[in-house]
Chain A
Amino acid sequence: MKKFFLKKILVASLMSLFVLQAVYFALEPTLTNAATTSDSVTVTLNVTSGVSISDGANASMLPNVGIVANRSVGSSAWTVATNSVTGYTLGVRASTTPALRNGATDNFADYTATTPTVPETWSVASSTKEFGYSAYGTNVTAGTWGTHTDCGSTSTGIVATGSKYRGFTTSDVTIASNSGVTAVAGVTTNICFAAEQNGVYAASGTYTATITATATAA
């Protein structure tokens, strides 16, 4: 009898305990605390592209052409710097056609390459006098402009071995280019000038050509 009674008490107690727990979990208030909160900002920095070109030195071709000297060479150089992510191009053009002239007195014809726009090994036909240019430097395509690393001899006027020449035009012709930023110091491109009279005399006087180099951020 006692055992039966105790059993009843135990069962009733356990059931009450389970019910109580269930009720507690159901009714216990939920406390929500906003312990963390965030905000994001976008920081923007603009790096504006730019290009600079140095002031190339005027070129005095040597030797002077005359009765005994038929050839002359000269050079100048431009240093281009750019932070443009797509790099730059350097183009050159002459202010006149032909480029090298002594006013209305006389002129040297713009060098005539077999294919006018494709630089070639220097060669002036008989009875002509011509003026042309080549280029060399880090950003100059050797396949186009030759493999030379100087402009030739200012004593003899003979162009450098391996150089390739073409004639100026009054519109830009690219002589150097790069597809990325340059060093801060920039990149130097050298331009070689060459003139020759072959079987004909150029009238004496001072001949000039105004050559403009333009660096453009790509």
Chain B
Amino acid sequence: MSKNIKKIISFSIVSFLVFQILYLVVEPQKVIAATATDDVIVTLVVGSGITISAPGDVTMSPAISMVTNGSLGTVVWNVQTNNVTGYKLAVKASESPALVSGVNSFADYTEASSGVPDAWSVANGDKEFGFSALGTNTNTTTWGTGANCGTGSTPTATLKYIGFETSDRDVATQNTSTSIAGINTTVCFAAAQNNVFAPSGTYTAIITATATEL
């Protein structure tokens, strides 16, 4: 009898121990969170913008007369943009022909090949008004080269000229943003009479420059 009780007790203890081990093995894991992370995305929008300077009006010089056959003028527009794809600058006249005084006018410069700027040349018997461009973002193949628009009444011989139109003509372009100082583009105006008198008077042309983000 006591032998049996002993056996019961032994087996009970063994079972208990086994049970405990079993419990430790199968008991569900408690997860202790030692590290937790979170991500936020920070967004900054840099809005694109473009500005153009407003230079003063231009009086060409010298005045054309019976003894002076040519006249030059210069204007500089500065464009600033932070647009990542850059900008273009275009010019146009308010009317055609561009340079007028009442019923009198200078014809828009006539290129040898229409629409292609060329070296300044006014045919005998004509009086014409045209423009060229120079600057960092001006294509020298199209507009020629020059450090300035000319001296006295003579346009720089290496610049190429074209007549104004009432629709935009591009003169400068860049595919990236500008420095904060912006980029200058110089537009050179030229007028000449060749073996003909332009009737005296004050001739004006309204030229609009438009800078557009690309």
Report if A39 contacts B (CB, 8 A). yes
For window 164-213 of A, CB contacts with B under 8 Å fall at 180-184
Cβ-neighbour of A39 out of B48, B54, B199 (below 8 A) = B54
Cβ-neighbour of B212 out of A35, A41, A217 (below 8 A) = A35
Indicate if the CB atoms of B64 and A45 lie closer than 8 Å: yes
When A47-B63, A52-B66, A83-B65 are in contact, do A39 and B209 touch as well, CB less than 8 Å? Answer: yes
Report if B198 contacts A (CB, 8 A). yes
Indicate if the CB atoms of A50 and B67 lie closer than 8 Å: yes
Report if B210 contacts A (CB, 8 A). yes
Indicate if the CB atoms of B196 and A41 lie closer than 8 Å: no
Cβ-neighbour of B52 out of A38, A46, A51 (below 8 A) = A38
Per the bound structure, the CA–CA distance linking A182 and B196 in Å amounts to: 9
Report if A34 contacts B (CB, 8 A). yes
For window 33-64 of B, CB contacts with A under 8 Å fall at 47-60, 63-64
Report if B133 contacts A (CB, 8 A). no
Cβ-neighbour of A43 out of B54, B58, B198 (below 8 A) = B58
Cβ-neighbour of A85 out of B55, B106, B191, B200 (below 8 A) = B200
How many B residues, CB 8 Å from partner?
Answer: 50
Report if B123 contacts A (CB, 8 A). no
Q: Tell me the minimal C-beta distance from A3 to chain B in angstroms.
A: 44
Per the bound structure, the CA–CA distance linking A39 and B187 in Å amounts to: 13
Cβ-neighbour of B104 out of A41, A42, A85 (below 8 A) = A85
Per the bound structure, the CA–CA distance linking A203 and B86 in Å amounts to: 94
Per the bound structure, the CA–CA distance linking A183 and B94 in Å amounts to: 30
Closest to B202 in A: A46
Cβ-neighbour of A84 out of B60, B200, B206 (below 8 A) = B200
Please give, as numbers and ranges, the residues of chain A lying within 8 Å of B175 by CB-CB distance. none
Please give, as numbers and ranges, the residues of chain A lying within 8 Å of B118 by CB-CB distance. none
Indicate if the CB atoms of A45 and B200 lie closer than 8 Å: no
For window 57-79 of B, CB contacts with A under 8 Å fall at 57-60, 63-67, 71, 73, 75, 77
Report if A36 contacts B (CB, 8 A). yes
Cβ-neighbour of B211 out of A36, A45, A217 (below 8 A) = A36
Indicate if the CB atoms of B203 and A44 lie closer than 8 Å: yes
Indicate if the CB atoms of A83 and B66 lie closer than 8 Å: yes
Indicate if the CB atoms of A83 and B199 lie closer than 8 Å: yes
Please give, as numbers and ranges, the residues of chain B lying within 8 Å of A34 by CB-CB distance. 48-50, 213
Indicate if the CB atoms of A37 and B56 lie closer than 8 Å: no
How many A residues, CB 8 Å from partner?
Answer: 32
Please give, as numbers and ranges, the residues of chain B lying within 8 Å of A82 by CB-CB distance. 66, 197
Indicate if the CB atoms of A36 and B210 lie closer than 8 Å: yes
Report if B204 contacts A (CB, 8 A). yes
Indicate if the CB atoms of B50 and A36 lie closer than 8 Å: yes
When A37-B51, A37-B52, A47-B201 are in contact, do A81 and B66 touch as well, CB less than 8 Å? Answer: yes
Report if B183 contacts A (CB, 8 A). no
Per the bound structure, the CA–CA distance linking A81 and B103 in Å amounts to: 21
Indicate if the CB atoms of B209 and A38 lie closer than 8 Å: yes
Per the bound structure, the CA–CA distance linking A164 and B205 in Å amounts to: 49
Report if B119 contacts A (CB, 8 A). no
When A39-B52, A83-B197, A85-B199 are in contact, do A44 and B204 touch as well, CB less than 8 Å? Answer: yes
Indicate if the CB atoms of B64 and A47 lie closer than 8 Å: yes
Please give, as numbers and ranges, the residues of chain A lying within 8 Å of B195 by CB-CB distance. 184
Report if A33 contacts B (CB, 8 A). yes
When A36-B213, A83-B66 are in contact, do A45 and B203 touch as well, CB less than 8 Å? Answer: yes
For window 166-214 of B, CB contacts with A under 8 Å fall at 189, 191, 195-213
A-B contact list, 14 entries, CB within 8 Å: A33-B49, A34-B48, A34-B49, A37-B51, A38-B209, A40-B206, A43-B57, A43-B99, A44-B59, A45-B204, A46-B203, A47-B64, A47-B203, A83-B198
A residues apposed to B, CB below 8 Å: 31, 33-52, 81-85, 180-184, 217
B residues apposed to A, CB below 8 Å: 47-60, 63-67, 71, 73, 75, 77, 94, 99, 101, 104, 106, 129, 189, 191, 195-213
